[in-house]
């Protein structure tokens, strides 16, 4: 599927040509028909001699409706450039060509119209003028077809030229990331809200769950049409009319966009290249009422030139642009910049970074994914895909990591591990990305929640304090000469249990539970503290913490002066 937009000065015969090619008058409104003037976009379709389907977007030529022209050419891939032989090259011939160039439209055919009323000299003159004006542009060398729609002259030749054009124009690429910039919205009787646009980036399907942005309104695709024919799905590069469930047509406006929300980074600030038109008679600075045309929309913006304070006519530089509301953008999106005060096209460029992290004073944007990774150090692979539209396999876990940063983190971790000695490092004390790279260290392993050097002998294995506790379970020695760090680790591992400031071997706790079970076996009515002390051979100091631990873990329960069986009393 291909969409071609018309372009050219007012009254040069664009709509007439569209009607001659398709049988459809693209001027939809009574006012347009009455004045013989296109005000807003028109749409029509035809099948070319080769059988290829072609959609045409007809744009207005009048300078007053330039914003409508801009809404129509944002997503097309080729143009039908119209110049009337009777008038030759005119201001909007020039401005439309500049705009198409700024939008990076790379393919087109030229129709030299109204050759009927023009004599041969005028036609020759117009040819020469066109050749001169398009020199060095994408239309340099494009076929020039002479036409006269009322008499049918040249229409077959133009259809053949359009066939060659679409054959030479690459079809829209399917990145699995559909985006429909909405150029029209209306309510169809019985169906509800319908939006139209030129689809790019991916396929749209009936029942797709999408959202309208910038509002974020969730919608579902009820049905899809391409020039009034219903489809279950439509590929990128198609004109689409989408019947939506979930939004009223008057909540939606031209310039809104239909996407799968989570596939995009929705931005209000982006860095971009800016090429200033040669024809401008003043430099471009941050001052001025700047308006950006992106997709099918028009957005008043604030703009800052990155680097110098101003860009001279013909210069190319970088800018930071602040949008009033978030839009789902990607590097590579093209835009046109106008100044509404002077009502002039200033230039245009390409989005380079939809989520700049550098300050404007130091930012030097380009489209490189490596730069974005470098500036972030660590970036989630899904996030990176939303930011760039491209997938990079993660280096560690779900992270894509700048190689230098990865090297540094690994080195730092190695040094810390060395100084930590055989005990290693507690995983809980590491940053999330440090934890993620532990598998890349090679010479360290994760054991019991710690990162330890491989082959390191566990310094706490057969710890003398544990042995001392075990050999005197109910009268445990105090940990006076035990290293505090080691003691903490022994408690964390569960080898030693601390109750109310007294340290017991884990086995002592189990033994105390069995002792309680034996006492209750003798007398199910309960046992007293002194009975327990006597059986354990210890004093209140060591008996009370044990009993409160048994109570606390449900082995025993306290009733008045005695302990009775709790739910977790072991069997003996």
Among 3, 10, 21, 166, binds ligand GTP (CB under 6 A): 10
Residue whose CB is less far from Mg ion, 18 or 247? 18
Spatial contact of 238 and 230, defined as CB atoms under 8 Å apart: no
Nearest to 72 by CA among 300, 295, 338, 269: 295
Considering only 1, 15, 96, 280, the residue that binds ligand GTP (CB under 6 A) is 15
Measured from the CB atom, the residue of 89 and 503 that comes closer to Mg ion is: 89
Helix axes 464-471, 484-493, angle to 10 degrees: 60
Angle at 455 between CA 449 and CA 457, to 5 degrees: 75
Taking the mean position of all CA atoms in its chain, how far away is CA 171?
23
CB closer to ligand GTP, 158 vs 252: 158
Which of ligand GTP, Mg ion, none binds 395 (CB below 5-8 Å, type-dependent)?
none
* Inter-CA distances, 546 with 3, 156, 493, Å: 83, 101, 19
The one of Mg ion, ligand GTP, none whose footprint includes residue 148, by CB under 5 to 8 A per kind, is ligand GTP
Preceding omega of 214 cis (within 30 degrees of 0): yes
- As a whole number of angstroms, the distance between CA 299 and CA 268 comes to 11
Candidates 8-16, 185-193, 248-256, 399-407: pick the segment binding ligand GTP (CB under 6 A). 8-16
CB of 382 within 8 A of CB of 371?
no
Identify which range of 11-19, 74-82, 203-211, 532-540 contacts Mg ion by CB under 5 A. 11-19
Q: Which two tokens stand for residue 220?
A: 């579902």
* Pairwise CA distance, residues 316 & 159, whole Å: 38
> Between 14 and 239, whose beta carbon lies closer to Mg ion?
14
Q: Which is nearer to Mg ion, 44 or 505 (CB)?
A: 44
From the list ligand GTP, Mg ion, none, partner contacted by residue 314 (C-beta under 5 to 8 A by kind): none
Which member of 1, 12, 15, 526 binds Mg ion (CB under 5 A)?
15
Q: Which span sits near ligand GTP by CB under 6 A: 144-152, 337-345, 367-375, 510-518?
A: 144-152
Q: Apex CA 430: angle with CA 429 and CA 436, to 5°?
A: 145
Helix (H, G, I), strand (E, B) or coil at 453: strand
- Number of residues interacting with Mg ion: please give it, by CB under 5 A: 3
Contacting range for ligand GTP; rule: CB under 6 A; set: 4-12, 135-143, 252-260, 436-444? 4-12
**How many residues line the site for ligand GTP (CB under 6 A)?**
21
Q: Which residue is nearest to ligand GTP (CB)?
A: 61
Stretch that binds ligand GTP, among 12-20, 295-303, 320-328, 505-513 (CB under 6 A): 12-20
In the window 22-61, what residues touch Mg ion (CB under 5 A)? 38
Candidates 23, 29, 33, 36: give the one binding ligand GTP (CB under 6 A).
36
Closer of 36 and 91 to ligand GTP (Cβ): 36
To the nearest whole angstrom, how small is the minimum distance from the Cβ of residue 13 to ligand GTP?
A: 3
Question: In the set 16, 146, 198, 243, which binds ligand GTP (CB under 6 A)?
Answer: 16
Residues 176-195 touching ligand GTP, rule: CB under 6 A, are none
Q: Which of 14, 177, 376, 450 binds ligand GTP (CB under 6 A)?
A: 14
Residue 295 binding partner per list Mg ion, ligand GTP, none, with a CB distance cut-off of 5 to 8 Å that depends on partner kind: none
Query: Toward ligand GTP, which CB reaches closer, 11 or 77?
Result: 11
**Residue 106 near which of Mg ion, ligand GTP, none (CB within 5-8 Å, type-dependent):** none
What distance in Å separates the CA atoms of residue 7 and residue 101, rounded to the nearest whole number?
12
Residues 148-167 touching ligand GTP, rule: CB under 6 A, are: 148-150
CB closer to Mg ion, 29 vs 186: 29
CB atoms within 10 A of CB 489: 19
Query: Under a CB-based contact definition with an 8 Å cutoff, are residues 313 and 270 in contact?
Result: no
Binding partner selected for residue 460 from ligand GTP, Mg ion, none, CB under the kind-specific 5 to 8 Å limit = none
Q: Would you say 503 and 518 are in contact if contact means Cβ atoms under 8 Å apart?
A: no
Q: Contacting Mg ion (CB under 5 A), which of 2, 9, 14, 338?
A: 14
What is the 8-class DSSP label of residue 555? S
Other Cβ atoms within 10 Å of 494 Cβ, number:
9
Token pair of 463 as six digits: 């710890």
What's the closest the beta carbon of residue 28 comes to ligand GTP, in angstroms? 12
Instruction: Rule CB under 6 A: choose which of 46, 93, 113, 193 binds ligand GTP.
Output: 113
Using CA atoms, how far residue 520 sits from 514, 561, 566, in Å, is 10, 14, 11
Of the ranges 32-40, 218-226, 285-293, 346-354, which one interacts with ligand GTP (CB under 6 A)?
Answer: 32-40
- Cβ contact 299:348 at 8 Å: no
Q: Which is nearer to Mg ion, 97 or 221 (CB)?
A: 97
CA atoms of 92 and 61, how far apart (whole Å): 7
SS3 category, 288:
coil
Which partner from the list Mg ion, ligand GTP, none does 13 bind, CB cut-off 5 to 8 Å by kind? ligand GTP
Name residues contacting ligand GTP, limited to 45-104 (CB under 6 A): 60-62
**Residue 219, both tokens:** 């919608």
Residues 6+ apart with CB under 8 A from 354: 265, 267, 270, 329, 330, 331, 387
Question: What's the Cα-to-Cα distance from 271 to each of 247, 371, 380, rounded to whole Å?
Answer: 32, 13, 21
271: its two tokens:
């860095």
Give least dist CB 1 to Mg ion, A. Answer: 23
Nearer to ligand GTP, 90 or 557 (CB): 90
In whole angstroms, how far apart are CA 358 and each of 306, 311, 405?
Answer: 11, 21, 17
Please choose, from the candidates 221, 166, 151, 172, the residue with its C-alpha nearest in 3D space to the C-alpha of residue 193.
221
**Residue closer to Mg ion, measured from CB, 6 or 196:** 6
| Residue 113's binding partner out of Mg ion, ligand GTP, none, with CB under 5 to 8 Å set by partner kind | ligand GTP
Closest separation in Å from C-beta 120 to ligand GTP:
15
Distance CA 357, CA 372 (A): 9
* Residue whose structure tokens are 């004109």: 239
Q: Which residues pair with 452 in a beta bridge?
A: 445
Binding site for ligand GTP (CB under 6 A): 10-16, 36-38, 60-62, 113-114, 116-117, 147-150
Binding site for Mg ion (CB under 5 A): 14-15, 38
């Amino acid at each position: 599927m291909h969409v071609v937009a018309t372009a050219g000065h007012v009254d040069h015969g664009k709509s007439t040509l569209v009607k001659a090619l398709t049988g459809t008058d693209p001027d939809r409104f009574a006012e347009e028909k009455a004045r013989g003037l296109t005000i807003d976009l028109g749409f029509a379709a035809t099948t070319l001699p080769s059988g290829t389907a072609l959609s045409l977007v007809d744009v207005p030529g009048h300078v007053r409706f330039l914003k409508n022209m801009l809404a129509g050419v944002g997503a097309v891939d080729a143009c039908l450039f119209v110049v009337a032989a009777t008038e030759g090259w005119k201001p909007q011939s020039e401005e439309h060509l500049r705009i198409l160039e700024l939008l990076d439209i790379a393919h087109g055919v030229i129709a030299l119209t109204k050759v009927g009323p023009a004599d041969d000299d005028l036609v020759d003159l117009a040819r020469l003028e066109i050749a001169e004006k398009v020199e060095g542009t994408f239309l340099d060398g494009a076929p020039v077809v002479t036409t006269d729609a009322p008499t049918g002259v040249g229409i077959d030749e133009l259809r053949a030229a359009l066939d060659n054009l679409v054959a030479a124009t690459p079809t829209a690429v399917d990145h699995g990331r559909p985006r429909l910039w909405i150029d029209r919205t209306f309510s169809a009787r019985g169906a509800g809200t319908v939006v139209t646009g030129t689809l790019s980036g991916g396929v749209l399907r009936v029942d797709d769950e999408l959202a309208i942005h910038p509002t974020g309104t969730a919608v579902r695709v009820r049905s899809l049409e391409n020039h009034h024919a219903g489809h279950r799905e439509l590929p990128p590069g198609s004109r689409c009319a989408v019947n939506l469930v979930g939004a009223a047509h008057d909540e939606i406006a031209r310039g809104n966009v239909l996407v799968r929300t989570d596939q995009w980074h929705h931005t209000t600030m982006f860095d971009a290249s800016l090429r200033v038109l040669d024809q401008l008679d003043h430099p471009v600075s941050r001052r001025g009422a700047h308006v950006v045309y992106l997709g099918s929309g028009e957005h008043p913006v604030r703009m800052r030139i990155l680097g110098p304070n101003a860009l001279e006519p013909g210069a190319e530089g970088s800018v930071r642009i602040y949008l009033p509301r978030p839009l789902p953008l990607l590097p590579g999106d093209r835009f046109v910049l106008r100044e509404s005060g002077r009502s002039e096209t200033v230039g245009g460029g390409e989005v380079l970074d939809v989520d700049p992290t550098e300050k404007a004073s130091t930012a030097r944007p380009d489209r490189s994914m490596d730069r974005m990774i470098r500036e972030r150090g660590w970036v989630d692979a899904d996030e990176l895909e939303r930011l760039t539209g491209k997938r990079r396999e993660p280096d560690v876990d779900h992270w894509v990591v700048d190689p230098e940063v990865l090297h540094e983190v690994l080195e730092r971790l190695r040094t810390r591990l060395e100084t930590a000695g055989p005990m290693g490092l507690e995983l809980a004390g590491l940053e999330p990305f440090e934890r993620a790279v532990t598998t890349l260290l090679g010479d360290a392993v994760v054991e019991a929640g710690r990162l330890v050097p491989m082959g390191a002998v566990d310094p706490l294995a057969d710890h003398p304090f544990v042995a001392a506790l075990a050999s005197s379970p109910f009268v445990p020695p105090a940990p006076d000469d035990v290293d505090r760090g080691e003691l903490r680790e022994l408690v964390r591992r569960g080898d030693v249990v601390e109750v109310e400031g007294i340290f017991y071997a884990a086995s002592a706790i189990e033994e105390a539970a069995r002792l309680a079970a034996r006492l209750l076996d003798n007398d199910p009515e309960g046992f007293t503290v002194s009975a327990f002390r006597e059986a354990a051979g210890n004093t209140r100091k060591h008996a009370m913490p044990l009993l409160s631990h048994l109570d606390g873990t449900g082995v025993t329960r306290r009733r008045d002066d005695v302990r009775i069986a709790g739910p977790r009393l072991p069997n003996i």
